[in-house]
Amino acid sequence: MGESVSVSTGARLHMGFLNLSPEHERLYGSLGVALAKPRVSVTATAAETIDCPRAFEEDVRRIVDHLGVPGARVELNESLPRHVGLGSGTATVLAMTAAIARTYDAQPCIRECAPALGRGRRSGIGVAAIENGGFVLDAGRPTPACGTPTGTATDGEDGTWTVPPVVARHTIPPAWRFVLVVPAADPGRCGDAEQKSMRAAIGDADPDVSDRIAGLVTRRVLPAIEAGDAAAFGDAVTEIGRLNGTWYADEQDGVYRAPVATLVDTLLADDAITGAGQSSWGPVAYGVTTTDERAAARAAGERALERAGVAGDVRIVAPQNCGSLG
């Protein structure tokens, strides 16, 4: 105890939910992939008080209270852009948790810690991506009983939830790459605004869309990963993203939020990109490609930003196929 401990973990893509309709037995159920980069990296040292970046003071205080330790000094060495669809909140909080715990010679289970830290309520992708990497599909949670408003304590709003369990985890073929297009745009929804939008989307969700998504996952996404078929995978996740967008159309003014529609359309028009979509609430747009096409894929991403008339960043990143709290 007393020595500094550094912990790093990668971002994730959230490619959509399986179901938002209360007419089905389970809500949510998300699919996504773990990314090797970009990363968040933190260094923690045991302390008697809390010393950390102001933006994370509440999180660190919650972590310290949950772990039952007196305090910590936390430095953020690398950071993920916040609220853009890369899972920055979960990645940062859980990295800080692991680092602080290790300074006190503890090794907590991040899955068990996540609910107390406000993480993993609807989607288990962020936690599962950190645990084992790869492509992840989680089970969601039971739909609240008839007559119980979705989004109440039954849905975990009181902090008593458990992180949705993983029902499928697959290694992503090492030759696959993901194009990240991060436009200089307003951040995605979070907190109360996200909660309000999710309630609205669930209230209007068409159950037939869920059935179509389930078919795409079982008959196309999972077989494509096993076969190493990037084109089939990309085609399927593109359609899943569009179907998810029909649930959110009223909340984000379209199947994709601005300027993601232009980004996605431009990416899909390029032969180097086999699929594209919006990660979570955006504004990150992603594309599926391979190592052989990475130069052309980067050019497609830059062209997408130009056509959307926005500045931004384009990265070609590898999947993360193992746990990443290192």
pLDDT at 287: 98
Q: Residue 110 domain-assigned? A: yes
Residue type, 92: T
Asked whether residue 22 is domain-assigned, the answer is yes
Alpha helices in the chain (DSSP H): 57-67, 88-103, 110-113, 125-132, 191-204, 207-216, 222-227, 230-252, 260-268, 294-308
Query: Which tokens go with 49?
Result: 């008080």
Has residue 162 got a pLDDT over 80? yes
pLDDT > 70? residue 155: no
Is the pLDDT at 230 greater than 60, yes or no? yes
What is the total residue count of the chain?
Answer: 326
Average pLDDT over residues 127-143: 96
**Within-domain flag for 326:** no
Model confidence at 60: pLDDT above 80: yes
Q: Which long-range contacts (CB under 8 A, 24 or more apart) does 287-290 make?
A: 287/178, 287/179, 287/181, 287/234, 288/176, 288/177, 288/178, 288/179, 288/230, 288/233, 288/234, 288/237, 289/176, 289/177, 289/178, 289/179, 289/230, 289/316, 290/175, 290/176, 290/177, 290/230
Q: What is the pLDDT of residues 165-175, one digit of tens each?
A: 999 999 999 99
- Asked whether 288 and 180 are in contact (CB, 8 A), the reply is no
**pLDDT score at 159:** 53
pLDDT digits over 170-193, tens only? 999 999 999 999 999 998 888 888
- pLDDT in the model for residue 147: 44
Maximum alpha-carbon separation in the chain: 56
Query: Is 311 part of a structural domain of the chain?
Result: yes
**For tokens 């899955």, what's the residue?**
111
pLDDT band at 152 (very low <50, low <70, confident <90, very high): very low
Q: Is residue 30 in a domain?
A: yes
pLDDT at position 146 is 54
**Percentage, residues of the chain above pLDDT 70:** 94
228 exposed, middle or buried (CB, 10 Å; 0-12, 13-18, 19+)? Answer: middle
| 322 occurs within a structural domain | no
Average pLDDT over residues 74-80: 97
Its domain, for residue 30, covers 5-317
pLDDT at 314 over 90: yes
Strand order across the 176-183 sheet: 275-278, 285-290, 176-183, 312-317
pLDDT at 151 over 50: no
Q: Quote the CA–CA distance of 168 and 137 in Å, as a whole number.
A: 5
CATH number reported for the structural domain that contains residue 306 in this entry: 3.30.230.10
Return the pLDDT at 191.
Answer: 83
Number of domains in the chain: 1
Q: Examine residue 238 and state whether it is found in any structural domain, yes or no.
A: yes
Three-state DSSP class for residue 265: helix
Question: What is the C-alpha separation between 116 and 97, in angstroms, rounded?
Answer: 11
DSSP 8-state code for residue 255: S
What is the rounded average pLDDT for all residues in the chain?
A: 94
Residue 323, domain member (yes or no): no
Are the beta carbons of 315 and 124 closer than 8 angstroms?
A: no
Name the DSSP letter for residue 187.
Answer: P
